Structure formats: C-alpha cells, structure tokens
C-alpha cells in the first residue's frame, strides 16, 4: 500500500469532476509536486490517471491549485479517446511520474523538439486494472520518443512492482519476449489515436524503436531536474500551479490548512451550484403544481357549471 488516498468531487464525466489526492495523514496534497518521484531505490511512483480499457482522457490539472485529476476538455467538450480497432480505450494503465516535467522551453537533444509542458507519461503493462487516482510503485523497463504536433512527449513503459509477474520484467527485451505484440500495438495506438479527432498521425524519434531501461531512467531524471527548476521558480512555469505542501526549497510551499481551503472552496462552489439547481427545480416543480391545481379547479368549475345547467 502506498499510504496515499484519493477523494472524488462531483460526478465522473462532468466538467466539475475532480480527484484530489491525500497523504497518509489524510491531508490534501498535489499529485504533481508532493508525491515523491522515487518510492524506493530504482522504483518510481506512478499516478494512475486512466485505468486500462477506459476511454475518458483524465489527467493531472497542471494549472489548477493542488493539481487534481480532471477530464480534459476541448472546445467545451469532455475528451474521450476513440476505440481504435482492434483496441478498447487505453491499452495500459496510463498516468504520470510525479515530480517530473517536460519543459516546453527546452529542446530535447534526441528529438530536437521541446517538451509538452506535462509530467512524464507512463504506460503500465501489469495485469491489474488500476483505479483512477491510485498511486502505484513501478519498475521502469523502457521508453518511446513520441513527437506530438512538434512537441516531445516521452512514453515510459513500466510494470507495477506488485504485479505477480513483476520479477520476470527487468528491461524492454523482457516485454518483447513475454508479451509479443504489445510494444508494436503501443506504437500503433500512439500513432493513430488522434486520427478520429481529425488530427494527423503522431511521429516518433529513433524510427519508433523503444529505448532500454537505462535510457528511460536518464530521461526521467532529466525531467525531474526540469521539475526542480520549475518548483523552485528558477524556470517560469507560465500558468502551471506549483502550490505544494512538502517541497521545502519551493517558494510555492503552503501549509495543510491552505491546501484544505482550496478543496473546500471547490466544494462550496459545487454545493452552491447544486443548491441553486435544486432550488430552481423545486421552484419550477411548485409552478407546475400550481398550474396543475388551477387546471383541476378550472375543470371542476366547468363540470359544476355544466352540472348545474343540466339540473336547471
Ligand atoms: Mg505527455
């Protein structure tokens, strides 16, 4: 068990939906800044954003205070990835390594492209279907250099250390050997997944070949250095929220009460929204009730009137 827990606000698949993360004391934290990159030596933390086989594009909200997970929105609409034949939704548990950042102001020496402004992405290939907001410990096996509309977007391949088969996976060659076709499917998926949205196919550096675990760990470490510069204000994050509760060198560090105030403010907004909704609902209900009542009275009146006439 990681000791971290998550708390959902509002209904999933709505614009208001958020997943906030909490530490072992139940205090709110940022999954981007407060969860340590390392769980132990050579084992990384991973924040699960999208459970395997699901389609909603959930992600750490880098610009919102405390960086809760929320569903991505494009042109006012919630984003879902299409089922790309023959796949169903995302084909791995998908998420990010905390305390990493792909710096958009830094051109990568391997790809020649700048970073995508997000924490580094992870595809977890274990057999368990994880849950949204779950924090798992992963062993890094390799990496793919995707180029998305001119931005570097590394995809780390990793396995949950709690997977019953984890001991058999130590490098990218083990994935090729023990899960034949999975890496080819991964490239195919990333190449085509935006095509149903009218976007071009994605491209890859290194002729779409996966690099090994050592290469992957070097890349992750470099993104950890970019994150350090971000959270200590040596790099301007331009809109990224660096609010955190644990990074002592960071000018954005706040106390747990300030973190709680962020979540409470979000909740009271939601509460007032639902209260006003139910108020307007009950108002319209009472209006329709009174309309009903007056129609009934009217009918009774007419009935009586005609009744009287008949008797007369
Ligand atoms: Mg990315």
Question: 115 C-alpha vs ligand 1 centroid, how far in Å?
Answer: 8
Pairing state of beta strands 69-71 and 58-60? antiparallel
Provide the 3-class DSSP secondary structure of residue 135: strand
Q: State the Cα torsion 263-38-147-141 to the nearest 10°.
A: -140
Average pLDDT over residues 237-246: 97
Q: Which of 154-163, 208-217, 230-239, 299-308 comes out lowest in average pLDDT?
A: 299-308
Query: How far is residue 3's CA from residue 52's CA, in Å, rounded to a whole number?
Result: 22
Question: 92 C-alpha vs ligand 1 centroid, how far in Å?
Answer: 15
Question: 196 C-alpha vs ligand 1 centroid, how far in Å?
Answer: 19
Question: 204 C-alpha vs ligand 1 centroid, how far in Å?
Answer: 13
Question: 154 C-alpha vs ligand 1 centroid, how far in Å?
Answer: 6
> What confidence score (pLDDT) does residue 276 get?
72
In this predicted structure, the answer to whether residue 282 has a pLDDT above a threshold of 80 is no
**pLDDT tens digits, one per residue of 50-98:** 999 999 999 999 999 999 999 999 999 999 999 999 999 999 999 999 9
Q: Which of 166-170, 254-258, 259-263, 295-299 comes out lowest in average pLDDT?
A: 295-299
Report CA-CA distances (Å) from 180 to 25, 153, 175, 185, 186. 42, 24, 7, 10, 11
Q: Considering the chain, what percentage of its residues have pLDDT values greater than 70?
A: 86
Query: How far is residue 114's CA from residue 104's CA, in Å, rounded to a whole number?
Result: 5
More confident residue, 311 or 26: 26
More confident residue, 295 or 217: 217
Question: 230 C-alpha vs ligand 1 centroid, how far in Å?
Answer: 16
In this predicted structure, the answer to whether residue 126 has a pLDDT above a threshold of 50 is yes
Q: What is the largest CA-CA distance in the chain?
A: 103
Query: How far is residue 19's CA from residue 74's CA, in Å, rounded to a whole number?
Result: 19
Mean pLDDT estimate for the chain: 91
Question: 279 C-alpha vs ligand 1 centroid, how far in Å?
Answer: 42
Report CA-CA distances (Å) from 225 to 120, 145, 214. 12, 19, 17
> What confidence score (pLDDT) does residue 305 get?
39
Query: How far is residue 31's CA from residue 100's CA, in Å, rounded to a whole number?
Result: 11
Question: 263 C-alpha vs ligand 1 centroid, how far in Å?
Answer: 26
Among 21, 69, 17, 2, CA closest to 260? 21
Q: Which H helix or E strand runs over 172?
A: helix 172-178
pTM listed for this prediction? 0.87
> What confidence score (pLDDT) does residue 285 get?
66
Question: 153 C-alpha vs ligand 1 centroid, how far in Å?
Answer: 5
């Amino acid at each position: 068990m990681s000791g971290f827990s998550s708390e959902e606000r509002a209904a999933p698949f709505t614009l208001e939906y958020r997943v906030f993360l909490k530490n072992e004391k139940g205090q709110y934290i940022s999954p981007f800044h407060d969860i340590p990159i390392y769980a132990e030596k050579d084992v990384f933390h991973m924040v699960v954003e999208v459970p395997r086989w699901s389609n909603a594009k959930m992600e750490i909200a880098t610009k919102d205070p405390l960086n809760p997970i929320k569903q991505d929105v494009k042109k006012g609409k919630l984003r879902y990835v299409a089922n790309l034949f023959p796949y169903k939704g995302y084909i791995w548990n998908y998420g990010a390594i905390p305390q990493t950042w792909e710096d958009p102001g830094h051109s990568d020496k391997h790809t020649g492209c700048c970073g995508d402004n997000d924490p580094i992405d992870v595809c977890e290939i274990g057999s368990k279907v994880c849950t949204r907001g779950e924090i798992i410990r992963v062993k890094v096996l390799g990496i793919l250099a995707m180029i998305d509309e001119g931005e570097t977007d590394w995809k780390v391949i990793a396995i949950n250390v709690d997977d019953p088969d984890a001991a058999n996976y130590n490098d990218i060659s083990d994935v090729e050997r023990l899960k034949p076709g999975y890496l080819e499917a991964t490239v195919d998926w990333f190449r085509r997944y935006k095509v149903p949205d009218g976007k071009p196919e994605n491209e890859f550096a290194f002729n779409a070949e996966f690099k090994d675990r050592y290469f992957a760990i070097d890349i992750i470490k470099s993104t950890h250095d970019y994150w350090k510069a971000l959270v200590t204000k040596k790099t301007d994050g331009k809109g990224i929220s660096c609010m955190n509760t644990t990074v002592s060198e960071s000018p954005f560090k706040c106390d747990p009460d300030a973190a709680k105030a962020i979540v409470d403010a979000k909740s009271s907004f939601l509460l007032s929204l639902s209260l006003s909704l139910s108020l307007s609902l009950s108002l319209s209900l009472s209006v329709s009730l009174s309309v009903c009542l007056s129609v009934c009275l009217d009918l009774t009146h007419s009935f009586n009137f005609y009744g009287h006439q008949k008797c007369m």
